[in-house]
Every structure is written in structure tokens, then in C-alpha cells.
Amino acid sequence: MTSTEQELNASNNGHTEAALTPARRAWVENITIVTRHKALILIVTAVVTIATGIYAFTQMPNYYKAKAVILPARKAGGVLDNISSGIASSLKDIGLSKLHGGAEEGYSPLTLLTSRDVMEKLIRQFDFIRIYKDSTMAQALEDFSQNLDGEVGEEGNFIIAFEDTDPKRAAAVANAAIGAINEVNSRMAKEEAVHNLTYAEQRYKQNVADLDTAEVALTAFQRKYGVFSLPDQAKAEVTAIAELEQQKVIAQIQLRNAEQMFGSNSGEVATYKSTIEQITSKLGEMQAGLDSKVNSFVPTNIMPDVAIQYLRLMREVEIQSKLKAFLLPSYEQSKLDENRNLYGFVTLDSAAVPAKKAGPKRSMLLLGAILGSGLITAIVVLVVTNLKRVRTNFVRDRNRIGL
């Protein structure tokens, strides 16, 4: 029988009326064991705490965090920024749903900040491979990314932060990160503009050819039949159809851009496809309605099939004219976007050299060392003592049965 059990038995003999439950007995035993080994626990805790303190104050350098605040730059009025502005009102007027899309949101600075291009540029600029004592760029990227951070502020601003042992370098890296973000943003915008320019040029040249063909056909028709004008009501309906055709082309261009930026399975692409389907359906209804009222729009001496042909020619000329009025500025804007720097973010507050350290929290380390080492030592003492008890009981029981 162990000394702990003897003490408990002596106590129980004096108070037989208060028998201990198994759970309470185990609790008392464990407290007794910890109390008996308190000197060992205190010594181990003191040694671990002193060692942690020596390491924290002699080996762990201070870290400083510098923060810069940026805002999205105002829209420059590029083709992608303005391309959707004319759709909403037209769709609303004809009872279609408003066009939504993510293309006008631009690139997130936090996404650009953590891109490989930005981080590698900063690592090379400040020679972090040498500073971190890394042998490869991959290792430097891992170390660098742990010190680089970004977050969205409550007011919608973006906070760029960098942590370093040198407070001046921390501020310099945070400020340099803004320039690197803008460079990547400008490069991506230019690449997007190149794609837009190719499609805009192709679509514009097609429009010019279609408009020439429609105008020649209308002129020939007018000379043959002597019909040179439409009533105001007919002109209004033809103009409405032409404007809707314009919105359809705008939505098709936005669809193409969304497929390039977000992929063919994205929500933005699905939204544009749905909008195009709605516009196409509405166009069919309006064109059928206009054809059915052809007799009221032309002179009575004109045959119905000739009148329909006349309306369609007028409609085609109006449509192609509307498209040209939109595509030509878009085409020219795409050429401008291809050759200019599109800075997406402006600095609200530059990163200043931090005066106070951000870490390490040495007091918290010491408190953790005290609590952790004391608790772990107590657990080890309990486990070892109970294992010894189990072993002693096993040997005793084995001897009793003669094994």
C-alpha cells in the first residue's frame, strides 16, 4: 500500500460516516500527489521561465509594423467603365431586369498584394533573400508572405501592412508595395485593353461595312419606289428598336469581357447571357409588332410586301447608325487604354516609420512559460505516479495468484 493510500485510509477510519466516492477519492489523491511534488514543479517552472526570458530578451529581435492606407482611384472613363452605363435605363424602360456584372469592380488590391509578381519584385528590390538568409526565391516568398498583410478597413479603404525588424525598412516596403500593386494593375489593364481593342476593331469594321450596305440598299429602294420618309410614329418605333439593338451589342461585348476575366462558368457570364436572351426576345416582339402595323406607316399606293421591305431597310440603317455612334468612341477609347498607365489605387496615408514595436510580446511569453511549464510538469508527475501505482498493484496481484 502506498503512502497516499495509507493517509487516505487513516483519514477514512476517523470519519467513516463520510465515505468518499471514487471520483472524489481520485481528486484528493491527485491533489495530494501534486502537493507532495510541489518543489519539483516549482523548480521546473522557474528553470523554464528563466530560460524563456533569457531567449526572449537576448535572441528575439523587436518587430515593427508599418501601415499604409490606399483607396481605389476614380474611374478614368474607359470603355469598360462606361460600357454598361447606357444599358440600365433602356432595359428599365422596356421592362427588363437591370444588368448586373462584376467587371466594373476591377481588381482587388489585396489579391494583387499577395500575387507572386508583387512579392518577387519587393523581395528583389529590398534583397530579402539575403536578409532572411534564404537560399531560394521560394523560401524567401514564404518568409516574406508571413510579414506582408492587407485588410479592408471599415470605411472601404485598404490597409497595406508590413512587419520587419527594421522600422525604416518596414515603412519603405509598405510604401513600395503600393507602387508594385499599381504596376501590376496597369499591366493587367493594358492586357485587357489589347483584347478589347482587337474585338472592338473587328466589330467596328463589320459595322461600317453593314452600314454602307444598308444605306446603298435603302437608296436604291427609294429611287425605285419613290418613298423617302416615314411618319413620326414609325420613326419613333424604329429608333426604339435601334437603341435596343445597341444595348444588345453592348451586352455582348460585356459578355466577352466577362468570359475573359472570370471564365465561362462564372455568375457574371450567366447574368450577361440572360440579359442578351431577354433583349433578343423583346426585339423579336417589337419587330413583329412594327411589321404588323406597316400599312398605317406608308402611302396606300405601296404594296404591303414593298412597305415591309422599306421599313426593314429603314430599320437596318437606323440600327447600324446607332451602333456606329457607340462603337467608334469605344474603339478609340480602347486604343487610348492600350497606351496609358491605368493606376487603380491612390495613397491616402503613406506608411510612417513606426515608433513602437509590434512584437514580440515578451510578457505574454513569460506568462505562457509559467503557466505552461507548471501545468505540464504537474501532469507528468501525476502520470508517472499513477503508472508506478498501476505497476505496483499488478506485481502484487500477480504474486497473490502465484504467477
- 354, 344, 345: which is closest to 159 by C-alpha? 345
> What is the distance between the alpha carbons of residues 232 and 240, in angstroms, rounded to a whole number?
12
> What is the distance between the alpha carbons of residues 355 and 88, in angstroms, rounded to a whole number?
51
pLDDT at position 261: 67
Are the C-beta atoms of 174 and 348 separated by less than 8 Å? Answer: no
Question: 127 in helix, strand or coil?
Answer: coil
Are the C-beta atoms of 342 and 190 separated by less than 8 Å? Answer: yes
All three cell numbers of 263, joined, read: 471564365
Collect contacts of 194-200 with beta carbons under 8 A, ≥24 apart: 194/338, 195/257, 195/260, 196/79, 196/80, 196/253, 196/257, 196/334, 196/337, 197/331, 197/334, 197/335, 197/337, 197/338, 199/253, 199/256, 200/79, 200/253, 200/327, 200/330, 200/331, 200/334
The tens-digit pLDDT sequence of the chain (403 residues) is: 555 555 545 555 544 445 678 888 888 888 888 899 889 999 999 999 999 989 888 888 899 999 999 998 865 444 444 444 444 444 444 444 444 433 344 578 888 998 999 999 999 999 999 999 999 999 999 999 999 999 988 888 899 999 999 999 999 999 999 999 998 888 887 777 777 777 778 888 888 888 888 888 888 877 776 665 655 556 677 778 878 887 888 788 778 777 776 677 887 788 888 888 888 888 888 777 766 665 555 554 454 566 677 777 878 888 888 888 878 887 777 777 666 656 678 899 999 999 898 888 888 989 999 999 999 999 999 999 888 888 888 888 778 887 6
The per-residue pLDDT for range 75-107, each reduced to its tens digit, is: 544 444 444 444 444 444 444 444 443 334 457
pLDDT at position 66: 95
Is omega for the bond preceding 231 within 30 degrees of 0, making it cis? no
User: Residue 268 contacts by C-beta under 8 Å, 6 or more apart in sequence?
Assistant: 100, 101, 102, 103, 258, 261, 262
pLDDT at position 104: 41
Are the C-beta atoms of 160 and 70 separated by less than 8 Å? Answer: yes
